[in-house]
Amino acid sequence: MARRLHARTHAWTLKEPFAIARGVRSEAQVVIVELHEDGVVGRGEAGGVAYRGETPESMLAQIEQVRAELERGCDRQQLLQLLPAGGARHALDAALWDLEARRSGVPAWTLAGVGQWRPVDSAVTIGIRDIEAYEAAARAHADYPWLKVKVGRGSPVAAVAAVRRGAPRARLIVDANQAWSVDELLAYAPALEPYAVDLLEQPVPVDQSEGLGAYAGAIPVCADEALSTLEDLPGLVGRYQFVNIKLDKTGGLTAGLELAAAARAAGFRLMVGCMLGGSVSVAPGMVLAQLCEVCDLDGPWLQAEDWPDGIVYTRGRMAMPDPPLWG
């Protein structure tokens, strides 16, 4: 039976407006693909990289450009040559992994060779809000193992202090989404140390990464917007200690696994993250999470609705995806 490709856009409603330094969103807008072959369906989903201009419509247009090759039987390695890194390739790559797993009866994590397949503890995100509201949100999730605190330039130390009051035992990631200057980082980091922050994620703009050579603080710094693909790694050496690998940026799990191996070989510690989107969009990230110290795959947790058989979050612990969902 010939392979058939179906693709569409979708919008998931969020539980509350999601505010970061770049702006506020009330929906997770995604592209969803299905590959039908021999009575089996493989699914993929992607939110894309909005700060690089990707939209569900632009991703859908890219997918349509390679429809003929996909329907003729293109595999994951061939897909790497057909599309650039980004959300469209992530959605199609995920569908190919899912299709292969379902047709072979071999789970995606086994196909990927990541070793043990286990649930993971994901950070859950507290978006930018008033100081009092930071504390209230943290208190509501005080028994979660990891919290990510989104901050801007205003009062980041006060925001983190409020979260720490609300959640005395949680491990903390502070994410400024490029909002600080290098001088602000050098001022804020020592003030954050008493609050036992585990990680500072992309505190400065990508074009100021060189200035991180002056940073010698106790809290490690993680590259997020500064890293998309293998080509970015050399410029991060000596500036960042962690890298955050997001499959929307790498263009799928196939490229993400390659990037993880190269980053580890270069001496980086690994984090896996996600864009906004439903459980199918983050399920491939759970495969990569088996190789990472830090996991931030809370996109579906932020939503008011999700896929049937979606990933279950229990105080931040992500259950393994149900077989009807993916992989």
What token pair was written down for 234? Answer: 């050399």
- Decide if 98 contacts 326 (C-beta within 8 A): yes
Q: How many degrees, rounded to 5, is the angle at CA 93 between CA 91 and CA 95?
A: 70
The one-letter code for the residue type at 202 is Q
Burial of 25 (0-12, 13-18, 19+ CB in 10 A): middle
Q: How many degrees, rounded to 5, is the angle at CA 111 between CA 95 and CA 309?
A: 50
Hey, which residues does 310 pair with through a beta bridge?
Answer: none
Q: Strands 23-37 and 40-46: what pairing?
A: antiparallel
What token pair was written down for 135? Answer: 């504390």
Catalytic residue, candidates 15, 148, 246, 249: 246
For residues 188 and 201, what is the distance between their CA atoms, to the nearest angstrom? 13
- Decide if 243 contacts 270 (C-beta within 8 A): yes
Ramachandran category for residue 73: left, alpha or beta (phi over 0 → left; psi -120 to 50 → alpha): left
15: annotated active-site residue: no
Catalytic residue, candidates 15, 148, 150, 249: 150
Burial of 53 (0-12, 13-18, 19+ CB in 10 A): exposed
For residues 86 and 61, what is the distance between their CA atoms, to the nearest angstrom? 13
DSSP-derived secondary structure letter, 51 = G
150: annotated active-site residue: yes
The one-letter code for the residue type at 31 is V
Residues with a catalytic annotation lie at 150, 246
